[in-house]
Structure 1
Amino acid sequence: MRALISVSDKTGIVEFAKALRALDVDIISTGGTAKVLEAEGVEVIGISDITGFPECLDGRVKTLDPHIHAGLLARRDNKEHMAQIEKLGVTPIDLVVVNLYPFKATILKEGVQLDEAIENIDIGGPTMLRSAAKNYQDVSVIVDPADYEVVLDELKTGKKVKKETNFYLSSKVFEHTSSYDTLIATYMRKQRGATELPEVMTMTFEKVQDMRYGENPHQQAAFYKEVGNTKGMLTDAVQLHGKELSFNNINDTHGALELCKEYTEPTVVACKHANPCGVGSGTDVYEAYMRAYSSDPKSIFGGIIVANREIDSKTALEINKIFIEIVVAPSYSAEALKLLREKKNIRLLQLENIEVKQPDTAYDLKKVSGGLLVQTIDNVLYEGALEVVTDRKPTPEEMEDLKFTWKIVKYAKSNGIAIGKNKQSLGVGPGQVNRIWACNQAIDHCKEALGDGILKGASLASDAFFPFSDCVEAAAAAGITAIIQPGGSMKDQESIDACNKYGIAMVFTGMRHFKH
């Protein structure tokens, strides 16, 4: 029996090779792997002794040779195959242990240059893996050190690897080489500055964890992360306390986190079922939290909190007064962490670089039956200058409230309405099938949580245009004095006229933010 070993990740390879030799397996090896094995007393056959051709071009050509690939691809149950390789002087190779040049580790290094990345594109490795994996009936192929043990156990007990194990190892190889090629393709697209969506969409993600279940207990789920720089992203968060996050936890936290990134001043965002239910900004995190909490004390219960400043003990004491599922912050004071950990069921996540947004090159993906919807991410608030379309211009304070509230409605499910004042959300009406329902819902939430008078002088944001003037009428009746919306309806003038009638200032953004 012959094994070919050539690995970049040398974890456990010496022990594995020694165990193979103890089973009288001959080992062929190349380059650095051969040196490591020989230094540990493992007898090795050099690759050139098999091919009759020296390694060349700085190691670029070593295993690309018929003596290797005929030995891998020959079907043992095919008499013609076996007769041909015997005539050619080729000995079958029964086991391949290969992992590839560290392309991922190379491109993740700070300041890596294109030439260095190119040199770390493996050619011979994937070719050997694919040859061995194609002939899985006769050849065992290992790409992951975690599989050394199972192969050794089967060789020791049955003197051969089971066919079903070989098939598992083969499928694992094609997953691995597919991911490897996708990393290269993605890197090359970025290097040439491609902005168009590709004709063929290939992506690769790495599993972070299996989930207990998905949206519902009968659904399987897992959490995957993109390969690359994930600073400031949820996959980079460190859990400091609490039980494992669920599928819904992660999805809801993502929505709160992305909204929080829109603010530079101290801000706390509370979300429930992926919709914002309380947002507050202030001079410090305590003031921000109190504004977020008091905007809707009922809905925040059992919700998720994201803060863009360190959680201090004063804020922690307030958080502990109610049940909160998750808190995300860039850091926690020692006393705050101690206080929050007193609550058994709270999850605490620390996310450094919490202000870092997704790059403009990121994609938003939605799976549909039989396909995938792909779009660039919604990474802007509005294009160009805001346009005042009413007789009355918003006051400086109203303009600040309009900008504050526009950020909130961007993250509310459509049809969405958000109302705010003095850097505090007052009510959100998300996910309604018509806009007036969303408007009435937001107004009713404000009145229920904070009382009738709170809406006087407040600002309202709509994620898309008003098809009729009914939302303006409702806003005016509630005491709202400023509105921000995209504009673009055939009946824009109807809404503008209604605003002028009631002395409401209206601003057009020229950009909508549907969220489905």
Structure 2
Amino acid sequence: MTKRALISVSDKAGIIELAQELTSLGWEIISTGGTKTTLDNAGVATIAIDDVTCFPEMMDGRVKTLHPKIHGGLLARRDLDTHLEAAASHEIGLIDLVVVNLYPFKETILRPDVTYDLAVENIDIGGPSMLRSAAKNHASVTVVVDPADYAVVLNELKADGETTYATRQRLAAKVYRHTAAYDALIADYFTAQVGETKPEKLTITYDLKQPMRYGENPQQDADFYQKAIPTDYSIASAKQLNGKELSFNNIRDADAAIRSIRDFKDRPTVVALKHMNPCGIGQADSIEAAWDYCYEADPVSIFGGIVVLNREVDAATAEKMSKIFLEIIIAPSYTADALAILQKKANLRVLELSFDAQDASEIEAEYTGVVGGMLVQNQDVATVAPSDWKVVTDREPSEQERVALAFAWKSIKYVKSNGILISNDHMTLGVGPGQTNRVASVRIAIEQAKDRLDGAVLASDAFFPFADNVEEIAAAGIKAIIQPGGSVRDEEVIAAANKYGIAMVFTGVRHFRH
């Protein structure tokens, strides 16, 4: 019996060669629309879909393959006589191979001129239906959705006249992943269109970007996936200009780095991170001076760190960075001379990332996996203007202290809780991250900042639960504090600040980061 293939693709890469090989193997080819035209023009004999269905294509192509003579040919079980008899009595020819890929819905909604009606028209109905029918009957039918699999199918057909069950099963699984991802994009689009913020089903889809050697530790398997609709300001979208492949921990640290610098758009700024905590932040009128401050903030912890700069990297800055061991450098651009300097270090990962889409990246939800579930939240992008601060002590901060407090408050946001940060008006001086009690974080930050506390201020990511924190801060000689407030013991904390002549500002916004 002559084998039949049904071919209908929007991505026509390699389709002519596939059809030619099938024809040479004696297969008949059923085809539709633009695919049929492409194959006919290439001299490949095809059968029109309406010649199979004896029913005209209609409604602008919306109805053409949704027909029993198509789906009966795909779904008939070859091991059941009742199925084969039904097919014969209704003149349904069996279809042994389906090659289909879908209307370009993703590409359509990414178009700047996309309209709602255009998006809807690019929702494929017949294609997913044929794929699902063929995949369900993979015991007998081979189904191909990815041009990358054409060679595998052809090699098996040439060798044995049919594909193996293992191949059909693998391709069927790929089909269901493909149609699930396709439907997830459509669901996400419609959910956004109707303004639904808490859908009863979470439908998200990601594409494999990079299999990883291992995860956080060598005993953990890991992979890196990118959103199907890419976020421009993300490590997944960065262009790597030099160095080794990014590791699991590299990617997490780099993600924390590009988040932490978003609040520093107004001036040249450099942020250095270790283990997802900023170890140094510097701000100045030039990127070189900002680097100097960032490095000076903690020249020990920056070793082996991740550095992100929000201005083009020039040769002078590159020369200074090249003198120490860094894992990753991220910037919007590099001068030719700067890049030449950095590329002398073969293992240094140099990433170029467009900073133009920073604001758009802030609206993306955050997903955190827990055993048996997932937490979803919006990002912590809350800002509080200094004009909205509440000075709660007798002493008001000086103008210089206000500038330093604003810098410290931006800098504390991405320090792991319990987080304490000491700074002046242009650089961090001490960071106390992730301790189980706040006074321990205060002590760590003070120890790191000692001998550099003239004009220093202190920021806390959450309220002080006890006045003992202020006692430690006062003993160090720090004269200004910024914190959210909101503790049941706020009055005790304020009284302690007044006792030592410390200016204290409440912002009313907490920045926990677990």
Bin the TM-score by the shorter chain: over 0.9
Q: Which residue of 1 aligns with 2:324?
A: 322
Alignment match of 1:101 (pick from 98, 103, 114): 103
Question: Secondary structure of the residue that 2:421 maps to in structure 1?
Answer: strand
Q: Which residue of 1 aligns with 2:53?
A: 51
Q: Which runs of 5+ in 2 are unaligned?
A: none
- What is the identity percentage for the equivalent residue pairs of Structure 1 and Structure 2? 54
Q: 1:47 to 1:222 in 2, by over 3 A?
A: same
Aligned length: 510
Deviation at 1:227? Answer: 2.5
Distance in 2, Cα, partners of 1:358 & 1:414 = 26
Q: Which residue of 1 aligns with 2:506?
A: 508
Q: Which residue of 2 aligns with 1:455?
A: 453
Q: Which residue of 1 aligns with 2:401?
A: 398
Alignment match of 1:496 (pick from 469, 494, 497): 494
TM-score (norm: length of structure 2): 0.97
Higher mean alpha-carbon deviation, 416-425 vs 337-346, is at 337-346
Deviation at 1:361? Answer: 3.9
Q: Which residue of 1 aligns with 2:447?
A: 444
Deviation track 1:393-444 (CA, whole Å, cap 9, x = no partner) reads 1122212211211122110111111111021001111111110111111111
Alignment of 1:87-126 (within 5 A): 87-126=89-128
Q: Which runs of 5+ in 1 are unaligned?
A: none
Deviation track 1:356-400 (CA, whole Å, cap 9, x = no partner) reads 134454211111111111111112134892111111111222122
1:2/1:94 contact within 8 Å kept:
yes
Q: Which residue of 2 aligns with 1:346?
A: 348
2:407/2:423 contact within 8 Å kept:
yes
Aligned CA RMSD, in angstroms, stands at 1.3
Alignment of 1:21-32 (within 5 A): 21-32=23-34
Distance in 1, Cα, partners of 2:363 & 2:243 = 34
| Structure 1 position 212 matched with structure 2 position 213 | yes
Q: 1:207 to 1:295 in 2, by over 3 A?
A: same
Deviation at 1:31? Answer: 0.2
Higher mean alpha-carbon deviation, 65-74 vs 397-406, is at 397-406
Q: Which residue of 2 aligns with 1:235?
A: 236
Distance in 2, Cα, partners of 1:444 & 1:396 = 26
Deviation track 1:124-181 (CA, whole Å, cap 9, x = no partner) reads 0000000001111011100000000111111111111111111100000010000000
Deviation at 1:321? Answer: 1.5
Question: Secondary structure of the residue that 1:92 maps to in structure 2?
Answer: coil
Deviation at 1:355? Answer: 6.0
Deviation track 1:36-70 (CA, whole Å, cap 9, x = no partner) reads 00000000000000101010111111100011001
Moved over 3 A (4+): 357-361
TM-score (norm: length of structure 1): 0.97
- Aligned-partner residue type, residue 394 of structure 1: P
2:233/2:361 contact within 8 Å kept:
no
Distance in 1, Cα, partners of 2:87 & 2:65 = 17
- Aligned-partner residue type, residue 169 of structure 2: F
Q: Which residue of 1 aligns with 2:482?
A: 484
Deviation at 1:342? Answer: 1.4
Distance in 2, Cα, partners of 1:326 & 1:270 = 10
Deviation at 1:230? Answer: 2.0
Q: Which residue of 2 aligns with 1:226?
A: 227
Deviation at 1:326? Answer: 0.7
Deviation at 1:208? Answer: 1.6
Q: 1:479 to 1:111 in 2, by over 3 A?
A: farther
2:231/2:361 contact within 8 Å kept:
no
Deviation track 1:231-250 (CA, whole Å, cap 9, x = no partner) reads 22222211111111111111
1:308/1:355 contact within 8 Å kept:
no
Q: Which residue of 2 aligns with 1:336?
A: 338
2:101/2:145 contact within 8 Å kept:
yes
Distance in 1, Cα, partners of 2:396 & 2:198 = 41
| Structure 1 position 411 matched with structure 2 position 414 | yes
2:100/2:127 contact within 8 Å kept:
yes
Deviation at 1:352? Answer: 1.7
1:28/1:44 contact within 8 Å kept:
yes
Distance in 2, Cα, partners of 1:224 & 1:399 = 42
Distance in 2, Cα, partners of 1:255 & 1:240 = 20
Q: 1:355 to 1:425 in 2, by over 3 A?
A: farther
1:261/1:355 contact within 8 Å kept:
no
Distance in 2, Cα, partners of 1:78 & 1:355 = 57
Question: Secondary structure of the residue that 2:38 maps to in structure 1?
Answer: helix
Distance in 1, Cα, partners of 2:437 & 2:113 = 50
- Aligned-partner residue type, residue 57 of structure 1: M
Distance in 1, Cα, partners of 2:19 & 2:244 = 40
